[in-house]
Every structure is written in structure tokens, then in C-alpha cells.
A and B are shown apart, each in its own frame.
Chain A
Amino acid sequence: MRILLLVKQVPDVSVSGMEDGKVPRGGPSVLNPQCEYALDAAIGLKEDGDEVVAVCMGPPSARESLFRCLELGADRAYHLCDPDFAGSDVWATAKTLARLVTDKESDFDYILCGQRAADGETGQVPSMVAELIGIPQVVGCYRFSREKGSLHVWRERSGWIERFELEPKALVAVEKGCNVHRLPSISDFLGARKKDLMTISRTDISIEREECGLNGSHTVVKKVHVLTSSREGIKLHLDDTSFAIDTVLEAVRRREP
């Protein structure tokens, strides 16, 4: 079984904070939490003879996220890294990822990925990749198992736990996982540096300059503004008065803004 693992690197909000309202660039980055779950799922499904291939599009620093995948058990990795890819929206991102898959790894069985990224939080890329490759998808998954060559996945939707049996060639977006942040051993760490990590530039895959990056994007961010506080913000002291309790109870009971 060959599993492709699509991951994203995101700014580490636990460190960079964004107090000044600026999007942290060049600050510390981590593997996106839901991609971490997808990595866990992929490694958990892997048996002897299987291959897990990690794919990440991002700046040179995104290699770190791929190393993390390799340290924790991925076998090979692709790093889509080219200034031409910069500024991609969800469409251009999905198109570039899909093109890598169809050009280089079309004999995959399953694609696993995190459902949404902690920075952009759009959750659109998995569905778009599945559509562009032309395969079915199940999103929102939290549990995975192998049954005789096919993959079983579970998700919860509208109060129902649904179990799907997926024949090969399907995409699974992972929403939840165990809240563990595993640490690689020294030998995993060193071993990862010997694994195959291939850097892919635009000309390595069949995508034109105007199809990817900012040029290939269909949406453009017109402006960004900081939400300082859109709320009216009443401040009360508990010591002074029971007015605080009145205010809370009124708000709780009214439940309208």
C-alpha cells in the first residue's frame, strides 16, 4: 500500500503570538496540528512493504516539517519549493499538489492529509485536490484501520458515527487524532537525514507559471485588518457589587448579542 501524505507547515502561534497584529513571517514554524494527526494515522496504517510519501509545498524552511514526517516514519518526501509557487490561494495550491500527484506518484493507493491548516483555516484544499485528481473523499475522519487491502475510516457527522470502506484511490482528510506530540529518537532523527527528500521546482512538474502561485490564484486578498476588539467590553469588579452577577445572568438568559 502506498500512502501519500499531504502536509502543511504553519507559524507556531504558541511562540509568535501576533501581539502586534502582524502575521508572523520567518518566525518559528511547526507541522500543522491536523497534519500531525494525518502523519500519525499514516504511520499507524503502515505495514511491512508499505510506503508513506510525504508532500509539502512551502518555502525552504518547510523542509523541517518534512524532516519531522521522515523522522516519525515516512519513507520519502517531496518538497514543492519554488518562488513561482509563492502566493498561492486554495485553488493554486490544490492544483500544484494535484499536479505533483498525477505527474510523480499516480500509483498511490490513498491520500491522507490534515483537514484544515491552523493559519488560513480554510479547509478547502483536500476537497479540491480530490476533485482535481478525480477521486472520492471522506473528510472529518478520526479513526482508521486496514481490512483486507481496503481502508476503513470513521467520522462523526450530525450526531452519527459513519464508517466508510474505501477502495484504493481515495482521499481522507483527518480532523482529529490523539493529542500526542511524539518525539523522534536520536536514530530516527539521524535516519531521516538519509532518506530521500526531493525538492521539486515548477519546471519539474507540468504546471505553467501562470497556473500557480499568485498568478494562478483565483482569489486575491484585498485587505487585512486586525480585530482589536469588536466587542463593547464592559469591565466590572466582583468586589464592588452584585451588579456583576446580574449582568452575567442577564446575558446568559438573553443569549442574544
Chain B
Amino acid sequence: MKDDSCSTCPTKSSCAGGCQRSEAELAEMYDLEADMSEGHMIWVELDYTEGNPTLKDVSKQLLGKARSFDDQRVIGILFGPESARNAAREAFSYGADTIYHVRHNSFTDFHLESFTAGLTAVVERVKPNTLILAASDEGRELGPRTAARMGVGITADCTDLEMDKGVLRMTRPTFGGKLMATILSNTRPQMATVRPGAFPLPEVEEGRRGTVINWPMNPAPSIEPLESVAAEEGACLTDAELIISVGGGIGNLRNLEMAKEIADKLGAEMACSRNVVEKGWMEQDRQVGQTGNVVKPKVYLALGISGAVQHQTGMSGSQRIIAINNDPDAAIHQIANVSIIGDVGEFLQRLLKRLDEEKAAEI
């Protein structure tokens, strides 16, 4: 699969052994007029759902973060068809100085092999100080695959980045979010993947311009799915913004029904601890924790959950944790933003009553 015969040509996968072009020729072919000094490179992910390609929020967040590091250039690399050029302009307004547009009509979809080859080729050309990708499903494959191809280190799933005189300090949670490790890389580019939402969206700077560098490339051979079918409309916990999660302390099925009713009224997804699955009260696909889903909602409402480490592994990335448990010593109260010490059943009754009253007032 790997072809080492050419280190400069971005299409090395398709011209194995046949390319004898000089660097000057390549520069002409690929429009490499821009300066090639160091900088910070961000893999810019695009969203095609609305038809016109736009930047994913996480890419804006990463561009903004890179902009704040130091005075070095911020270089974006994006993969896409001709139409992705519009997204390049958007990237400038979020902080990019230069965009490498690796171009092919099929690149509206993620191609691990092609993107790895393209990213490696551009990095070898630009020699950035840092290379940052989103810890999306795709970034979690593209990052390590590219790092291994280049023989450099990578730090995954960072939640914070700091730049200190060119040295990137990468902070990531480990051991189920109980520990934070700050990691340095002794190779260049310093590579990290960063969790979506770790940084705020930067201000848009309208009218900010930059250089787009075209980098046409032929797709590398890759494995494609034999078939793709839409997943059943089931639990989609990993994307949920609001989760109501129940543990053994929910007590009885009547309370569980109340919790579900409230979830329905508030537009929340239901989740549970392992204990509740073992009782047969909820399906395993709703379980949160080490052996279940890892969720990162904006609000995690924990009802009667004690907060064992295994459970915390699955939910400690939540932005806000609200815990209701009658045991003041329950571990969940240690990590909650709002702890309510009290009976879950009573809490649910009061909450439901309040929601009904509000509804009545609206009418």
C-alpha cells in the first residue's frame, strides 16, 4: 500500500516510480508560490449537508486557537472538490492565512488513504511547527495514520493547548477523566487531535483575506463500504445535548416513567447506569459508562446515580452535571455542578408538576 518512491509529489500513490519531476516543476504544477516558512497547520473539516460546503464548528475553533498562539502563520488544509474553495474564504475569516486546497471531485467524502497521502505530502512541503486535527471519528483515524507515516508523535483527544516559545503543551484527560496529563512532543510537527467544543468559536473577521494554494491529487486506492444503510432511529446518546440518566436509586418503575415523561417534555435523551440495564428496565444501548456509551452533553441530569468510576468514565466530559441523590456521600456529588440531596421520586414529582403548571400558564 505504501509507496516510498517519491517524497514530494502529492499524487505519489498514483504515479509509483514514474515521477521524475524536480521541485521547481512541482512548484509550478501545484501553484506553490506562497512562502513555505513554518506555521501552524489545521486540518479544516467541511460540512456538505446544506449543499454548499461550510466549515465545521470544530474547525473554526481550531483556527481561532491557532491564531491565538503566536505570530506564526495559520495554515489550513482542506480536502474537497472545486466548490470547497468557498469554504477556504470562510476559513480566512476565522483566522487562516493560507489554505492548501487538496482537490478532487470525490473528496466530499472522507478517504482515509487519500487524505493521509495528501496531508503527509503537504506537511512535508510546508514543514509546519504544529499539526492539529479535530478528534472527530475521521480525525481519530487520519491523525494517527499520518503521524505513523511521518514517524512523529501524536497526542489524542486534547482538551487544552498552550503554546510556549514554539513548544506546544497538550493537555488531555486520562483514566476516565480523573487525571489531566500535559504532554510535549519531541518531533515536528507537534501533532494533536482536539475534542470538539474544547475551545470557543472565534470572532468572525469579515473581509480578512488569504492565499489559496491548489493541490490537485488523484485518490489513493481505498476500501469502500460494501453497503451503507441508515442506522435505525435509536438511541443517539453521543450527540445528545441534554441527557437524563437514571441509576439504581431511581427506585421503581413509576419513577422511571416520570423521568421518561420529563425527558419527553424537555427534549432530552434517556440514559442509564449499568445497574438499570441489569434490572432489565432499559436497553443496553442507553447505558453510559466504561462498557457503554461515552457521552458529552451540555447538561447531564443524573437521577439516583451513585457515580462509580466506571460510570464517570462515560460522562465526566459533560459540560454541566446535575445530580439528585439522597446519599450526601455519593461520588456523583463530588463531580456535580449542582448537587441536590433528596429523594429522586419527590424531585421528579415536583419537576413534573412545575412543567405542567408552565404548560397550563402558556395556554
Instruction: List residues of A whose CB falls within 8 A of some B CB.
Output: 13-14, 17-18, 21, 23, 33, 89-91, 94, 118-128, 130-132, 134-140, 152, 156-166, 170, 179, 217-227, 229, 231-239, 242, 244-245, 247-249, 251-252, 255-257
Contact check, B152 vs A226: say whether CB atoms are below 8 A apart.
Answer: no
Whether, in the assembled complex, B155 has its beta carbon less than 8 Å from a beta carbon of chain A, the answer is yes
- Mask, B147-168, CB within 8 Å of A = 1, is 1110111111100000000000
Question: How many angstroms from the CA of A127 to the CA of B191 in the assembled complex?
Answer: 15
Contact status of A23 and B338, CB under 8 A, knowing A166-B223, A218-B153: no
Q: Which residues of B contact A162 (CB under 8 A)?
A: 225, 227-228
A251 touching B299 in the complex, CB below 8 Å, given contacts A13-B310, A124-B156: yes
List the B side residues contacting A219 at CB < 8 Å: 153-155, 183-186
Which of B29-37, B71-79, B96-104, B313-321 is the contact stretch? B313-321
Query: How many angstroms from the CA of A235 to the CA of B284 in the assembled complex?
Result: 31
Q: Is the CB of B179 within 8 A of A124?
A: no
Q: Which of B13-21, B62-70, B248-256, B347-355 contacts A (4 or more CB under 8 A)?
A: B347-355
Contact of A248 among B112, B181, B225, B340 (CB under 8 A): B340
A-B contact pairs, 29 of them (CB 8 A): A13-B176, A13-B310, A18-B179, A90-B153, A91-B152, A94-B148, A121-B175, A123-B144, A131-B145, A132-B148, A137-B112, A140-B137, A157-B137, A159-B236, A219-B154, A220-B186, A221-B181, A222-B184, A224-B182, A227-B173, A235-B341, A237-B340, A238-B340, A245-B351, A251-B299, A251-B338, A252-B301, A255-B241, A257-B298
Interface residue from B147, B224, B229, B337 paired with A231 (Cβ < 8 Å): B337
In the complex, the answer to whether B320 meets A257 with C-beta atoms within 8 Å is yes
Per-residue CB contact flags for chain B residues 323-347 toward chain A (1 = under 8 Å, else 0) read 0100000000111111111110011
Closest 10 CB pairs of A and B: A238-B342, A218-B153, A131-B148, A127-B144, A162-B225, A128-B148, A124-B144, A219-B153, A255-B298, A122-B156
B180 touches A224 (CB 8 A): yes
CB distance from A229 to the nearest CB of B (A): 6
Contacts of B147 in A (CB 8 A): 91, 124, 128
Q: In the complex the two chains form, what is the Cα distance from A128 to B140 in whole Å? A: 11
A220 touches B319 (CB 8 A): no
Whether the Cβ atoms of B324 and A118 lie closer than 8 Å is no
B178 touches A (CB below 8 Å): yes
B204 within 8 A of A: no
Instruction: List residues of chain B with CB within 8 A of the CB of A124.
Output: 140, 143-144, 147, 154, 156
In angstroms, Cα B177 to Cα A18, docked, is 12
Instruction: Give the distance to chain A from B61, nearest Cβ to Cβ, in Å.
Output: 15
User: With a CB–CB cut-off of 8 A, which chain A residues contact B116?
Assistant: 131
Q: Which residues of B sit under 8 angstroms from A248, Cβ to Cβ? A: 301, 322, 338, 340, 351
| Proximity string of chain B (222-245) to chain A, C-beta cutoff 8 Å, 1 when within and 0 when not | 111111111100001000011000
